Structure 1
């Protein structure tokens, strides 16, 4: 797995080794393809609109990020300056193209937590009525009558307590619907297994997709295959995605050549391989990295 970390000589050596091994291994078998590419949107206003991301034809899932304040009776959505007006129509437009749209909670700030069981129930109630299929008087809906397809857990801060309860509370809303599940759950953990901040939540078995971030951590990225095997073995009922950065400047970046020859042949051997997750839309728009991922995923 070739990594863009100029200061880490060991990682550079690993990249060179994988380049050679990759050519010997050959390209990924077509039978392992899923065609699934997830992208995170909402981290840079210059990335363009949600509608533009969906119209690119590159993605099957778009995750809006982040709802980064919750747990103490206050809620705040940070989409990096994107105007909220119009996003509801964009969500519907994406869904009309069979592209799922999720809302990610958490992120890189420190203004969220679930201090009690009641706070988990309260956050679930808020998410259901503000962003999902609910409609309770007194709860503002930022995107109007548009409903996201589910919630992504991107927990970088605080205690892991009560996230399993939040997952169960959110999932319980599906009981009223026989033909569909208006609440789908995904998680985006760090690559080192297990990620203790979401371990309890994932243990509920309610998460259909897990986007493992194989970037941002040199030691983990250097032994990514071992970690991949752990994730796929631990959650056989979930679809496991390889999370990669679209920026060449991020530790964990995989050159398209090494993606094709060194990574794809490995990950597609797993029965629960799901596809590729791209971080994020802004860098992907600049590098067009998803064009390679889409072709080979």
Structure 2
């Protein structure tokens, strides 16, 4: 178990790394012992804090609700209870230059969308309630304090992914009405590509930042036979940052910065010791970041979560401070700049000359059985299908979403390949393309 000691403040060169790489930390669902403003000092090492979560909306509820932190409860009427202190802390953080993003979704929650109209209605409501909207008729849990943007951590699909684009579009349509502030749309997808929960959203929406969760996916997503991925450490699945660059290149999010999402301690990924395989020590994290820090789309590091970082102290630094030091100098607190880590312990470490990593062609067949097996019928956009099925069609793949096929592209130069109970996008020539 990680040390429970608290770190003394560690001096950092500056809040913002010379490369503009940023350190992002989730706060509000991990029983953090410290209030929000504790993470906004000049020595905290944090650039963006994500408030988690508004986790109940849809199914007849058009006002998102949830509990943020240890006391702030936002009801399904939009009323905030015991949120005044949090509002004050948000203002303190923003005055210190730390951006505050409000997250919707989470790994568990009662959320879904049933229509475009509902998505737009909810999007307008969260703008009116949490931005500088000037709307005095809605509940405002944080009073006059406005957040800096909205995060989408959609891990519960329920066949509603296609509607989130309308919520995001509605939010963005309001941005010009407040020229005094820069607002952001961010997302926290899982690392497998295709991404079954947020892939459709990313493919149809404009995100500013994508902090990809490179953990909890050594065997693909639970019950979903997609590509395994992680940080390429501890004998785990390969690091597929390059594939994410390729994936978003042909989407409205082509200009988004991609962040390396990591657990902040050995317990952070899933709350127990079994998740330690996903944890990168500060030295390992420095090696991982050295592989991608020069990529134009590299945005920085994201971690889950503040409380776990506080309990993980090394060389006088919390994990968040370690991450910031890595972004600033290339080395963790008290360390030296390491050589790059191999992207996989079982395949060639040579980087592909394209933006797609060469290890894609060596994916092993899935050992997980699932009812969501690929179909042998070529999918057609909008065609009828059985929920939970997937299919290849040349250089594209189909996901059955709410009873209709949604077609998404593989990365440039790849084809969709069926593999037992799974499908994946592999380099052209790795398998005969299907359905062409």
TM range (shorter): 0.7 to 0.9
Aligned: 1:232 with 2:245: yes
* Higher share of residues assigned strand: 2
Aligned: 1:245 with 2:244: no
* Runs (5+) with no aligned partner, structure 1: 1-30
Q: In the alignment, is the contact (CA less than 8 A) between 1:68 and 1:107 conserved in 2?
A: yes
Query: Which residue matches 2:170?
Result: 169
Query: Which residue matches 1:271?
Result: 296
Query: Which residue matches 1:133?
Result: 132
* Higher share of residues assigned helix: 1
Aligned: 1:78 with 2:67: yes
Query: Which residue matches 1:280?
Result: 305
Aligned: 1:63 with 2:89: no
Query: Which residue matches 1:214?
Result: 214
Q: In the alignment, is the contact (CA less than 8 A) between 2:49 and 2:101 conserved in 1?
A: yes
Aligned-pair distance for 1:35? 4.1
How far apart are the structure 2 equivalents of 1:49 and 1:178?
30
Q: In the alignment, is the contact (CA less than 8 A) between 2:32 and 2:69 conserved in 1?
A: no
How far apart are the structure 1 equivalents of 2:89 and 2:174?
24
Query: Which residue matches 2:27?
Result: 41
TM-score by length of 1: 0.83
Query: Which residue matches 1:256?
Result: 282
How far apart are the structure 2 equivalents of 1:203 and 1:174?
21
CA 178–49 in structure 1, closer or farther in 2 if over 3 Å, else same = closer
Query: Which residue matches 2:326?
Result: 296
Which aligned pairs between 1:11-26 and structure 2 lie closer than 5 A?
A: none
1:11-62 CA-partner distances (Å, limit 9, x unpaired): xxxxxxxxxxxxxxxxxxxx98434100000013333111112125210000
CA radius of gyration, larger in: 2
How far apart are the structure 2 equivalents of 1:196 and 1:178?
35
Matched residue SS, 2:89: helix
Query: Which residue matches 2:191?
Result: 191
The range that moved more, 265-274 or 143-152, is 265-274
The answer to which structure, 1 or 2, has the higher relative contact order (CA under 8 A, 6+ apart) is 1
Q: In the alignment, is the contact (CA less than 8 A) between 2:46 and 2:98 conserved in 1?
A: yes
Q: In the alignment, is the contact (CA less than 8 A) between 1:35 and 1:296 conserved in 2?
A: no
CA 132–194 in structure 1, closer or farther in 2 if over 3 Å, else same = farther
1:146-204 CA-partner distances (Å, limit 9, x unpaired): 000000000011231201111111100023345643x3100001111232322232224
Q: In the alignment, is the contact (CA less than 8 A) between 1:35 and 1:295 conserved in 2?
A: no
CA 32–192 in structure 1, closer or farther in 2 if over 3 Å, else same = farther
How far apart are the structure 2 equivalents of 1:94 and 1:189?
26
CA 280–66 in structure 1, closer or farther in 2 if over 3 Å, else same = same
1:195-231 CA-partner distances (Å, limit 9, x unpaired): 2322232224521100000112223213342x21111
